[in-house]
Amino acid sequence: MARLKVAVLISGSGTNLQALIDACAAPAFPAEITKVISNRPGAGGIARAERAGIPVQIIDHKAFADRTAFDTALNEALCASGIELVCLAGFMRLLTAEFVTRWHDRLINIHPSLLPAFKGLHAAHQAVDAGVRVAGCTVHFVRAEMDSGPIIVQAAVPVRSDDTGESLQARIQQAEHLCYPQALKLIAEGRVKVDGDKTQLLDEGFTEERRLINPD
């Protein structure tokens, strides 16, 4: 069976990219990363892709007059490479509605909160400031509105009373590295069906009721 052809878009160090690279390295994994695109020439994730032998393309957003021109170049690069699914992994650019529409249900993102809570930047700091007991991360299909779209996978992370935004973010990031490969696997296996603003997961496989209570 052919593996799903995936592109990963990055802007920074690429820790979630690395998690996806590691998952895709397994011969039985149903997806493969065939392209990495960075909008920043100095992004640390570029070296991760190169070490894994994945083709890298730099599309510097500063070289374009506006978001539309940048997104057009991005779309052309993805189409030329035969990409079937796009994963945003620390990609710090807001995509135009036209781009999101072109890649409808073929574009996913990971966000460091339990969406729809704490959208935007510094989600872990927002969670600490709000005094919540549970935070986490979300993998979702991308829609034109920032940090919105049908949810695929979420993971909950307890918030400790002495947490700072930085310490909570570090713990959330560990969960992200598990969630993103899991979401990609589910999609590549054809187990995710989008139904309006929600997803249906085929063969979820829950064997028992599970709870996370903080404090327990």
Residue that has been written with the tokens 């929600």 in this structure: 198
Which helix (H) or strand (E) segment holds residue 58: the answer is: strand 56-58
Known active-site residue 125: no
Rounded Cα distance, 128 and 125, in Å = 5
H runs (alpha helix) in the chain: 15-24, 45-51, 67-80, 97-102, 123-130, 165-188
Rounded Cα distance, 129 and 140, in Å = 24
> How do 56-58 and 31-38 pair as beta strands?
parallel
Please check whether residue 20 is in contact with residue 49, taking contact to mean a CB–CB distance below 8 angstroms.
Answer: no
Question: Pick from 93, 127, 7, 102: which is nearest to 55 by CA?
Answer: 7
Q: How far lies 135's CA from each of 34, 56, 123, 131, 158, in Å?
A: 32, 33, 9, 10, 6
Catalytic residue IDs: 111
